[in-house]
Amino acid sequence: MTAVTTRVDAHVKVLDETVVARAKARNIDVLVYAPHFTRLPEIRSRADEFSDDDLLVVPAREVFAGPWHQRRHVLAVGLSDPVPDFISLDAALREFERQDAAVLVPHPELLNVSLTAGDIAAHADRIHAVESYNAKCLPPQNSRSRSIVEGSEKPAFGSSYAHLRRSVGEAWTAFDARIDTETDLVTTFREGHPRNVGHRPGLGHRLQGALEFAHLGWENTWGKLDRILLSGMEATHPKQVAYGGRFDDDFVY
């Protein structure tokens, strides 16, 4: 019997026809779509729109938890109810646990926006995988991520973390399992199924990673300023009426 392998780009921020075509050209079977500051119903609707028989797009949320000066990004796959940004890490993890989501740690110890090795150890029973390779990160950062994964004894995952369309499929997680649905992917992560983390080789891959890292600088300066000055309160702010006041006590910013 032929073994089944499913290649997952486990974290992308962009999604349109160009992204779908690039993912398919790079033999990606599943995209995990988790754009910043976007509520779950909108993410889910867009994921459904771009899924087809050749590519499954799974909705997810990268929640910004903790105070502004020490933000902790946590990626949740398999949410049924919306979870806002700007709440405590404990509150976010508690809500993910209630919903039986798969909880992933993206880009550990990247700047001031990530869980540390200490955070991962403290919440180990609530975490299902830690990122060992992120195409947006520089080589020393990915080396540190691999060390954190080894120290945590948690399963690894990899992603393009694509904020730019051309980055989709630059890195992936290849599971020794068939994944046809969102539930399949959540189960695969939660149960720690065997997997390998890979990425595209060569200079082109390194250059695209450098472009992504440069984009990080724009996103954390002019991008944030634009949202603050022009957009007002984020759609994922816990004070938004859509959350019905459920997270008022957990707001930390």
Q: Which distant-in-sequence residues (6+ apart) come within 8 Å of 124 by Cβ?
A: 152, 154
Q: How far apart are CA 18 and CA 126, in angstroms?
A: 35
For residues 106 and 11, the answer to whether their CB atoms sit within 8 Å is yes
Tens digit of each residue's pLDDT (9 = 90 or more) over 80-90? 999 999 999 99
Tens digit of each residue's pLDDT (9 = 90 or more) over 168-200? 999 999 999 999 999 999 999 999 999 999 999
Q: Phi and psi (nearest 5°) for 83?
A: -125, 130
The whole model's pTM is what?
A: 0.93
Q: According to the model, what pLDDT value does residue 233 have?
A: 76
Q: Strand ranges (DSSP E) for 88-177?
A: 102-105, 129-134, 156-159, 171-175
For residues 75 and 100, the answer to whether their CB atoms sit within 8 Å is no
Per the model's pLDDT, the better-predicted residue between 127 and 225 turns out to be 127
Q: How far apart are CA 88 and CA 21, in angstroms?
A: 37
Q: According to the model, what pLDDT value does residue 40 have?
A: 97
Q: How far apart are CA 208 and CA 228, in angstroms?
A: 28
Structure tokens at 164: 């730019």
Tens digit of each residue's pLDDT (9 = 90 or more) over 139-177? 999 999 999 999 999 999 999 999 999 999 999 999 999
Domain ranges of the chain: 6-250
Q: According to the model, what pLDDT value does residue 19 have?
A: 98
For residues 171 and 195, the answer to whether their CB atoms sit within 8 Å is no
CATH ID of 6-250, from 3.20.20.140, 1.10.3080.10, 1.10.3210.10, 3.40.640.10: 3.20.20.140
* Per-residue pLDDT band at 129 (split at 50, 70, 90): very high
What separation in angstroms does the CA of 26 have from each of 53, 170, 174, 233?
Answer: 16, 8, 13, 37
Residue for token pair 């590519």: 55
Tens digit of each residue's pLDDT (9 = 90 or more) over 199-215? 999 999 999 999 998 98
